[in-house]
Amino acid sequence: MPINVNLHPLSVYWWQEKSINHKIFEQAGQQVIMLEDSSQRADIERDYRAYINGDLAFKLEEKDRPSTLYSIFQVLSHSPYTLLLIILSCIGFLLVEFQLNYWVDLFRIQLIDNSQFSRALNLSDRISPAEFLDHGQYWRLVTPIFLHFGWVHLVFNMLWLFELGRRLERQFGAVHLLSVVFFIAVLSNLYQAASTPYAFFGGMSGVIYGLLGYCGVFNLINPHKAFVLPSSVYILMLLSLVIGWLGLFEFLARMANTAHLSGLLWGCFIAVPSALLSRFLDKKAEAV
């Protein structure tokens, strides 16, 4: 649209009366309207022509702004599987926090254990991932990501999961999101278990680094607004990764550094075929 047209009334009208999610910004001396749903393009073009011709009459009303908490839940309602992962992580945190060790031990991928459950399966006191898998306990490949140690650990990971997970879910759907999350979870958990045998570790951090790498590489190959993140985010997270490997915060808490690094690398790896396929399909759609 021309730069000299006041689109503010129209923008408010689209938000309030038609619930059209959009963004208006200036580019190369023009106003650009970006839509979340491209099928609404004809609708806004029709409204724009009527507005310019004076045929569109509307009354704008000032509405109360929803609270920040309400806005967060509204966003999450459009990303139910991201919300599900957050809920499961909160449950895992409560199990650890209240020392419900029977259930916590069922989520761990390796442990030193002499519980009745393990003795019934004839497992040794020092149980490796391979021993668990031999007894069909495949859920342990994933479930450590839901165990969190302390409020800071939980909140930090959930904020990143909220930010990155919903982008992937809203763009490609629940199956794609869960496939990426579980793939990274399995590999990062196995690498961490191999590097620190029998250590008690958990958390969503490896998956978070994987999603970060996925977004970065995907956006390099097939630029997409859904995966655009400020460069400062990558700098901060990579700096945190380096600090973790240097052990500068070991006096506060031990970090699952191998899970972080392996999650990041595998997230970058699986983004390549995904981005190439998406790029091919986008070009095919444009040709049609």
Q: Which two tokens stand for residue 217?
A: 């590489």
Q: Say how far apart CA 31 and CA 133 lie, in whole Å.
A: 58
Helices 231-246 and 205-221 pack at an angle, to 10 degrees, of 140
Beta bridge pairs of residue 23: 34
- Per the listing, tokens 């000299």 go with 4
Question: Tokens for 19?
Answer: 């619930």
> DSSP character for 140?
G
Pick the catalytic residue: 188, 260, 262, 274?
260
Q: What angle do CA 260, 134, 110 make, to 5 degrees?
A: 35
Instruction: Give catalytic status of residue 240 as yes or no.
Output: no
Q: At what angle do helices 174-195 and 80-97 cross, to 10 degrees?
A: 30
Task: Choose the catalytic residue: 79, 118, 188, 205.
Answer: 205
Is the CB of residue 163 less than 8 Å from the CB of residue 228? no
CA distance to 10, 108, 144, 149, 178, per residue, from 237 (Å): 39, 26, 21, 20, 22
Do 203 and 221 contact (CB within 8 A), yes or no? no
- Evaluate whether 192 touches 251 at the Cβ level (below 8 Å): no
Told to judge if 260 belongs to the known catalytic residues of this protein, a careful annotator would answer yes
Question: Hey, which residues are catalytic here?
Answer: 205, 260
